[in-house]
Amino acid sequence: MNLSMTLRIALKALSRNKMRSGLTMLGIIIGVGAVIAMIAIGSGAKARIQEQIASMGSNLIIVLSGAATSGGMRWGSGSVPTLTVEDAKEIAELSAVKYSAPVIQGVVQVVYGNQNWSTIAIGSTPEALLIRDWPVVKGRPLNQGDIDGATKTCLLGQTVVENLFGEMDPVGQVVRIKKFPFTVVGVLGPKGQSTWGQDQDDVVYVPLTTAQRLLFGQQFPGMVRAISVQAMGPDTMKEAEEQITQLLRQRHRLRPGQENDFTVRNLTEAFSTAEESARVMSLLLGAIASISLLVGGIGIMNIMLVSVTERTREIGLRMAVGARGRDILYQFLIESLVLSLIGGVIGILVGVIASQLISRFFQWPTLISIQALFLSFSFAGAVGIFFGFYPARKAARLDPIEALRYE
Amino acid sequence: MEELIRVEHLAKIYDLGEVQVPALKGVNLVIRAGEFVAIMGASGSGKSTFMNILGCLDRPTEGHYYFEGFDVSGLSKDELARIRNKKIGFVFQSFNLLSRTSALENVELPLYYNNTPSRERRRRAMEALINVGLQGREHHFPSQLSGGQQQRVAIARALVNQPLLILADEPTGNLDSRTSLEIMDIFQTLNAQSGITIILVTHEPDIARYAGRHVLFRDGRVIQDLPNQPRRAMEDLRQMPTGTGEGIS
C-alpha cells in the first residue's frame, strides 16, 4: 500500500469524526501557537536590547571620575572630578583603544526666540560622536578647530530641534545657552530611547573647551567627569579596561593597595547581560510552551487509543481483506501525524496572530523567525509520531480473528 | 475438477495457560474448485476454527493445509495477508462494513491493499456492485441500506479481487428468510456462472439445503461428509408469498 492511499484512508477516518479530530488538534494548535508566540516575545525582547546596544555605540567603555572620600563620607562615582583632558588624550594612545573622548555635562536652559527648553549639554571632542556612531544629518559636525578656538557652536539633538524650532531648519540660527549665544552648526540623527528609557535625542553637543570656559568649568578647571572610550573590537574590551586602569593608576600616582580614584565600566558587558537574560527568558517561555505541546501529544495518544479500541472490528476487517500489520501501523501513525501536522499549521497561524496582538495591545516587540516556525512545526510532527506510535503498534498487533469478533 | 483445498491431519490447540483446549483434532478434507460446501455443526464443534484456518486468518498447530497445492500452514503473517487479499473473499454474519463510508468505498477496500490504481479500483468496485444488483446504491452509506443490501455490499467486497474462494460465515444469520434466500441465490449464481468455490458455515439446515455438499463437524472432527442435491434458491423465492422481506431492487 502506498503513501497517498494511506494518507487518503487516514484523512477519511479523521473526517468521519470531525468533532473529535478537531478537539484533539486543539491541543496541538494551542501548543504550537504558544511556542511560536512565546519565542516571538522572547526574540522580540532580545532584538530590542540588541538595537539599544547598537544605538549606544559598540565596544563602549566609560571611565568615571572616582568616588571621593571626604571626612569618612564617601561620595558616588563622578562626584569629584579626578580625570583630566590629558588622561583622555593618553588613553587614546593605548593599543587596545580606538577612540577616547573626555566628557563634561550638565543641565542647561536653551533659548531660541521666545521658545526655551531644558536639556543636557555635553562638552566633548569630535571623537565623542564617532564613539557613539552618531551621524550629523544636517550641517556639519564639530571639528578640531572648534575645540582649539573654543567657538560658541553647538549640535542639537532631534528632541531639542523639535521643541525649539518645530519644522524650521535650525542650522545657522543662534540659540542662547546660559545666556551665551551659540551658533547651531549641525543637527544630530535620531537615536531613540536608551535601555533605561532616557531620551538620547534630548541633548546639545558643544566643544569641550567652550563647555569648560563658559558652561561648567568654574569649579574644577581642566577636570572632566567622564571619559568615553571605544575599544578596538569586542575581543579587546578586557585588554582595553586593563590598559586604562594601569595607565590611570600610574598617571594619578596611586600606590599599590590604594583604591582607584576612578571607575572603568564596560557598558557592552552590562548590555550583554541584559541580552543573555532575554535569551534565557525566551528559552524559558519556549520550554513552558513546549510542555503544552507535549500535553497536546498525550491528547493525541489518548484519542488514538480510543480510536483503536473503537475500530477494532474495522482493523480486523482490514486485516481479513489483506492488510498486513505494517499497513495498519502506517494507517494509524499517519492519522496521528496528520492530526498533529494540521494542528501544527493552524497553530502557526494562531501563534503569528497572537504575537501580532501582543505587540499591538501590550506594546511588546515580537519577532517571528522562520526557524521558530519550522522548529515548532517539526516538533509537532515529532509529537504526532512519538505519541501515535504506541496506539498504532497496538492496532497492528491485533489478532484478526479476535478483532473481527470484538463487540 | 482440480483440488483447491486439501487439509491433512489438521489440529488446532488453544493454549490458555493452565489448560490446553483442542478445537480441531485431526481433520482431513478435500474441496475441489467450483464446489459449494456447507459446513455445519453446533457451536463449539470446531467449525469456526476450521474456517479461520481455511481463511488464512489462523495457522494450524499441527497438520497441513494445501491451498492450490501450496502448503500454506507455515507461511508468515504477511504472506497469509497476501493470500487473503488475492485469493479469498470473506462474508460475515454481521456484514462488517465501514460505517460512514459509501458502499462503493467499502467495496474498494481490498483493492487498497494491492495497490490498484484509483481508476481501476473504482471500475472494479462498480462492476462488483452491479454483479450483486446494487447499481444506483454505490454512494449510499451502510446506515441507508437494508440488511440484505448491506450483505450484498459485503459480497461485492468479497468479489472485487476476483477470488478463487468465498468463505461465508453465517451470512444469513442476521437476515429474514426472504432476504436469506436472495443472498443464497447470489451465491448460487456466482458459483454456477463464475465457478467460484464457496464454503458456507451455517447451523441452519434450511440454508444448507442450497449447498452441493454437507460437511458436519462435532468435537473437532468431521463426522459426516455427504453430497447434496441443492435446491434452487431462485425457485423457492418465486414460490414465496410476496410482501415479506425485501424485493430485489
What string of H, E and C letters represents the secondary structure of chain B? Answer: CCEEEEEEEEEEEEECCCCEEEEEEEEEEEEECCCEEEEECCCCCCHHHHHHHHCCCCCCCEEEEEECCEECCCCCHHHHHHHHHHHEEEECCCCCCCCCCCHHHHHHHHHHCCCCCHHHHHHHHHHHHHHCCCCCCCCCCHHHCCHHHHHHHHHHHHHCCCCCEEEEECCCCCCCHHHHHHHHHHHHHHHHHHCCEEEEECCCHHHHCCCCEEEEEECCEEEEEEECCCCCHHHHHHHCCCCCCCCCC
pLDDT score for B187: 95
The answer to whether residue A360 scores a pLDDT higher than 80 is: yes
Measured in angstroms, the CA of A274 and the nearest CA of chain B are apart by 58
Q: Report pLDDT for A75.
A: 58
Residue of A nearest to B52 (CA): A401
Q: Is the pLDDT of residue A81 over 90?
A: no
Among the residue ranges A219-228, A390-399, B89-98, the one predicted with the least confidence is: A219-228
The arithmetic mean of pLDDT across residues B186-196, rounded, is 94
Interchain contact, B92 vs A324, CB within 8 Å: no
Q: Cβ contacts (< 8 Å) between B157 and chain A: which residues?
A: 321
Residue A212 in grid coordinates? 569648560
Whether residue B115 and residue A5 make contact (CB cut-off 8 A), yes or no, is yes
Residue A225 C-alpha cell reads as 567627569
d(CA B86, CA B108): 13
Residue with cell 468505498: B105
User: Measured between CA atoms, how close is A281 to chain B, in angstroms?
Assistant: 49
User: Exposed, middle or buried by CB within 10 Å (0-12, 13-18, 19+), for A83?
Assistant: buried
Do the chains contact at A321 and B52, CB–CB below 8 Å? no
Q: What percent of chain A clears pLDDT 70, i.e. is strictly above it?
A: 93
How many Å lie between the alpha carbon of A401 and the closest alpha carbon of chain B? 7
Of A320, A325, A327, the CB nearest to B90: A320
CA-nearest residue to B58 within chain A is A401
Lowest mean pLDDT among A83-87, B18-22, B200-204: A83-87
- B92 with A404: Cβ contact below 8 A: yes
One-letter amino acid at B74 equals G
Distance CA B55, CA B14 (A): 18
Q: Which of A12, A316, A321 sits opposite B85 (nearest CB)?
A: A321
What per-residue string of b and e applies to B208-228 under the rule 16 or more CB within 10 Å gives b?
A: bbbbbbbbbbeebebeeeeee
Q: In this structure, what C-alpha cell is assigned to residue B175?
A: 437476515
| B249: confidence class by pLDDT, cuts 50, 70, 90 | very low
Rounded distance between C-alpha atoms, residue B11 and residue B46, angstroms: 10
Residues of B in contact with A404 (CB under 8 A): 57, 92, 96
The whole-number pLDDT of residue A72 equals 57
Q: Measure in Å the smallest separation between the Cα of B117 and chain A Cα atoms.
A: 10
Q: What is the pLDDT of residues A248-264, one digit of tens each?
A: 888 888 888 777 888 88
Question: What per-residue confidence (pLDDT) applies to A236?
Answer: 84
The pLDDT value recorded for residue B218 is: 93
Q: Is A148 exposed, middle or buried (0-12, 13-18, 19+ CB in 10 A)?
A: exposed
With a CB cutoff of 8 Å and minimum separation 6, the contacts of A210 are A123, A146, A150, A151, A152, A153
Buried b (16+ CB within 10 A) or exposed e, B59-74: bbbebebbbeeeebbe
Question: For residue A77, which of A206, A227, A198 has the smallest C-alpha distance?
Answer: A227
Cβ-defined contact of B96 to A313 (cutoff 8 Å): yes
Report pLDDT for A183. 92
Label residue A12 by pLDDT band (50, 70, 90): confident
From the CB of residue A55, how many other CB atoms can be counted at a distance below 10 Å?
17
Contact A44/A367 with Cβ under 8 angstroms?
A: yes
Describe the crossing of helices B103-112 and B147-159 by its angle, rounded to 10 degrees. Answer: 30
CB B164 within 8 A of CB B33: yes
pLDDT at residue A382, rounded to an integer: 93
pLDDT category at B25 given cuts 50, 70, 90 is: very high
pLDDT bracket for residue A178 (50, 70, 90): confident
Q: What is the pLDDT of residue A219?
A: 62
The residues of A whose Cβ lies within 8 A of any Cβ of B are: 1-2, 5, 9, 12, 16, 313-314, 316-325, 327, 400-401, 404
Which of A314, A316, A321 has its CB closest to that of B110?
A321
Q: How far is B96 from chain A (nearest CA, A)?
A: 7
Predicted confidence at residue A304, as pLDDT, reads: 93
- Residue of higher predicted confidence among B246 and B237: B237
From chain A, the residues in CB contact with B90 under 8 A are: 320-321
Q: How far is B8 from chain A (nearest CA, A)?
A: 22
Judged against a pLDDT cut of 50, whether residue B247 lies above it is answered with no
Nearest to A401 among B52, B98, B114 (CB): B52
Closest CA in chain B for residue A319: B81
The pLDDT of residue A197 is above 70: no
Nearest to A322 among B85, B96, B100 (CB): B85
CATH class as words, domain B34-59+78-239: alpha beta
Give the model's pLDDT for residue A250: 87
Choose between A52 and B179: higher pLDDT: B179
What is the total residue count of chain B? 249
pLDDT at B1: 65
Domain limits of chain B? 34-59+78-239
pLDDT in tens, A137-163: 888 988 888 888 889 999 999 999 988
Q: How does pLDDT run across A202-227, given as a tens digit for each residue?
A: 999 999 888 888 887 656 667 788 88
Cβ B113–A12 below 8 Å, yes or no? no
Residue A41 confidence class, pLDDT cut points 50, 70, 90: confident
What value does the mean pLDDT take over residues A36-54? Answer: 82
Mean pLDDT of B156-173: 94
Q: What amino acid occupies position B179? A: T
Q: What pLDDT does residue A365 have? A: 82
- What's the confidence (pLDDT) of residue B217? 94
Of A2, A9, A12, the CB nearest to B115: A2
User: What is the nearest CA distance from A4 to chain B, expressed in angstroms?
Assistant: 10
Question: With 90 as the cut, is the pLDDT of residue B208 above it?
Answer: yes
For residue range A109-147, what is the model confidence (pLDDT) as tens digits? 899 988 889 999 998 988 888 888 888 888 898 888 888
What residue in B sits closest to A311 (Cα-Cα)?
B98
Residues of chain B positioned with their CB less than 8 A from the CB of A16? 99-101
Q: Is residue A201's pLDDT more than 80? A: yes
- The helix (run of H) or strand (run of E) holding residue A98 is strand A97-112
Q: Residue B248 pLDDT > 70, yes or no?
A: no
Q: For the segment A369-389, what is each residue's pLDDT rounded down to a tens digit? A: 888 889 889 999 999 999 999
Q: Span A231-243, mean pLDDT?
A: 85
> CB–CB of A327 and B82 under 8 A?
no
Cross-chain residue pair A318–B113, CB shorter than 8 Å: yes
Q: Is residue B245's pLDDT more than 70?
A: no
The per-residue pLDDT of chain A, averaged, comes to 86
